[in-house]
Structure 1
Amino acid sequence: MAEEWRRETGGRRTSAARERFERIYHTLRDRICLLDYPPDTRLSEEALAEEFGISRTPLRRVLGLLEAQGLLKSVQGVGTIVTDVDLDELAQVYQLRMELAELLGKLSPVMPDEETLALFRAHHKRSLGLIDKPDPRTFARLNMDFLQALLLITGNEPLRDISERLYFQTTRIWLKLTAHMDIAEEVAVFSREIGDILAAVEIGDLEAAGYIRRSHISMSFTRLKKLTI
């Protein structure tokens, strides 16, 4: 995200403007990925500018970044539209995500401090609680939050930025297909993933954490393919 910000603003903005940019960006991205804005939704620049209390110029920078990341598209005569997940590109994105996952514990590894470990443990606890009361939206939110925790084990900023971008390109597909899947089983599988990664980071084996993540991305894509055939 930091690298995207520099490209978008040329590094000339104040910290307050940066915080505002990131806040609006994360808010809109989450709305898209949690399907608050379903595919083909038209976003009103006027309404969003009023909601966030800004002019259209900074808003358009945010929308431009989301468009560059494949979450929005500009349609002449229509406006800014939320994109759908491209199933043809899905396989290639998942393949790249698997390869990048291995690198998380290899490139500029950052040994987790107590605060980071507490974050992993909190996410594991949330996942265990979700097994008894599985909810698609809560599951999606936990998945998004866990990604942010996982990215803390690498200090390689380009790797973090690319991994985050690719994740958010694919995450919506799961919410779209919830009617066709066993949510309770998916939550249980994800809880095991968090538990296994937690065990690895607790002993400082960050490479193992990366390999575990890769394996689970691979298995999740295998399950996903069965739902989309």
Structure 2
Amino acid sequence: MYRAVGHQAEILKAIRTKICLANPREALWLKETALAEEYGVSRTPIRHILQLLANAQLLHTQTGLGTQTTVLELNELPKHFEIYGAICDIAIGVANEERAPRETILALMSVHNTLLIDEDRSPEAFIDVYGRIIDAMSQMITDPILCYAHQAAFWRLIRWRVQEVTAEVEGSWGLAASNIQSAIDAATQGTERDLLEISGRMGRSHIDRLINYYKVN
């Protein structure tokens, strides 16, 4: 999804984390000059990274004003989850009836091991864990347009979920551990299609929790 490599990829990941940590219902303004100074690079790579994030609908550029996070409307939250589920259904429909790639299985096991060893339960760690999960899942989606849509829809859901994670630490991380174990089971015992079905369930299972959370926050 993101055509950034090396140091630029790390900067993109850091800025994406900033976006996910911000309240999705409020605009966070990002200034090229400030970001370039923060990460010790020129404005050119920052501009490229912001464009990539804008292509994924995480950012929105207003002429003459600058770049801000895309504001999400609460009444569209259920639709965002439905869209992610629909994209997963398409991916399932065209997936191979073969075992998941070895790289995907190893990546998921690595995430699982991280949860067992690392006690960090911060929102930043949550974003990193799910970023690694979606990267692993995306290895099975060979169509570039479908893969791009899958990742973009996923990151929109993460923006909704991070706020809840801050308030419901134990429950959110417990659900993450359960999701990862289900994904590993599907990857090692089933097919690519089975694993993508788990990915779809990960999205659909959070709708009611999030709606209840945002009703009082």
Question: In the alignment, which of 35, 59, 81 is matched to residue 46 of structure 2?
Answer: 59
Alpha carbon RMSD of aligned pairs, Å? 3.1
* Structure 1 residue 58 displacement after superposition: 4.7
* Residues 1:124 and 2:112 aligned together: yes
SS in 2 for 1:70: coil
Distance in 1, Cα, partners of 2:108 & 2:176: 13
Mapped contact 2:53–2:59 kept (Cα < 8 A) = yes
Residue correspondences, number: 213
* Structure 1 residue 74 displacement after superposition: 3.1
Mapped contact 1:42–1:81 kept (Cα < 8 A) = yes
* Residues 1:192 and 2:178 aligned together: yes
Distance in 2, Cα, partners of 1:199 & 1:48: 41
Distance in 1, Cα, partners of 2:213 & 2:81: 15
- Provide structure 1 residue ranges, at least 5 long, that are not aligned to the other structure: 6-16
CA displacement, residues 39-96 of structure 1 (integer Å, 9 cap, x when unaligned): 5333222233343523x45533432332343322334554222333332332222101
Question: In the alignment, which of 200, 206, 217 is matched to residue 214 of structure 1?
Answer: 200
Match of 2:158?
A: 171
Query: Which stretch of the first structure deviates more once superposed, 147-156 or 42-51?
Result: 42-51
* Residues 1:137 and 2:128 aligned together: no
Letter of the structure 2 residue corresponding to residue 192 of structure 1: S
Match of 2:138?
A: 151
Match of 1:14?
A: none
* Residues 1:224 and 2:210 aligned together: yes
Distance in 2, Cα, partners of 1:192 & 1:95: 21
SS in 1 for 2:203: helix
Mapped contact 2:95–2:192 kept (Cα < 8 A) = no
CA displacement, residues 182-213 of structure 1 (integer Å, 9 cap, x when unaligned): 32122112211111111111124222222222
Distance in 2, Cα, partners of 1:68 & 1:155: 19
Mapped contact 2:123–2:166 kept (Cα < 8 A) = no
Determine what percentage of the aligned residue pairs are the same residue: 21
Residue 183 to residue 78, structure 1, CA distance change in 2 (3 Å): same
Mapped contact 1:105–1:153 kept (Cα < 8 A) = no
Residue 90 to residue 58, structure 1, CA distance change in 2 (3 Å): same
Q: Which TM-score applies when normalising by structure 1?
A: 0.76
Residue 57 to residue 108, structure 1, CA distance change in 2 (3 Å): same
- Provide structure 2 residue ranges, at least 5 long, that are not aligned to the other structure: none
Distance in 1, Cα, partners of 2:189 & 2:177: 19
Mapped contact 1:196–1:212 kept (Cα < 8 A) = yes
Q: Which TM-score applies when normalising by structure 2?
A: 0.79
